[in-house]
Amino acid sequence: MDMKKYTDTIKNVLTEINSRYAKPSDDIQYQLIMDEKQHNYLLLTNGWLRGSRFYGILIHVELKEDGKVWLHDDNTDLVVVDWLLERGIPKKDIVLGWHTPSMREDTEFAVM
């Protein structure tokens, strides 16, 4: 496992998704947040839509010190895990963080 490679892959995936799919409007902004010190990478929506607050996490990926890539949240229809796999991060190093540990055991991905 190469931390720099994984970091670069995560950053590239989120940057590509942000530039291709997150089209800013006057009301909704997309914010790509990259905390390289803590290894947390987020794509957020922030703004107002028809008079209602529109804010939330679209994607949250964290690279842990043990080299596991935690996909904490993917509220898109893009299947971000497939993007990570296509770019060389193996299933054994990806944790689907929204599943309980017992559910993760039934997948081909990392449990913890």
**pLDDT tens, residue by residue, 56-109:** 999 999 999 999 999 999 998 889 999 999 999 999 999 988 877 777 777 777
Plot region of 107 (φ>0 → left; ψ -120 to 50 → alpha; else → beta): beta
Percent of the chain clearing pLDDT 90 (strictly above): 62
Predicted model pTM: 0.89
pLDDT at 10: 97
Distance CA 52, CA 107 (A): 38
CATH fold of 3-20+27-104 reads TATA-Binding Protein (3.30.310)
pLDDT at 82: 95
pLDDT at 8: 97
pLDDT, average across residues 8-12? 97
pLDDT at 64: 95
The DSSP string of 22-43 is ----SSEEEEEEEETTTTEEEE
The set of residues, in sequence order, having a beta carbon less than 8 Å from that of 19 and lying 6+ positions away, is: none
**pLDDT tens, residue by residue, 26-61:** 788 889 999 999 999 999 999 988 889 989 999 999
List, in sequence order, every residue forming a beta bridge with 35; answer none if it has no partner: 40
Distance CA 55, CA 32 (A): 13
For residue 109, how many C-alpha atoms fall within 13 Å in the half-sphere facing its CB? 22
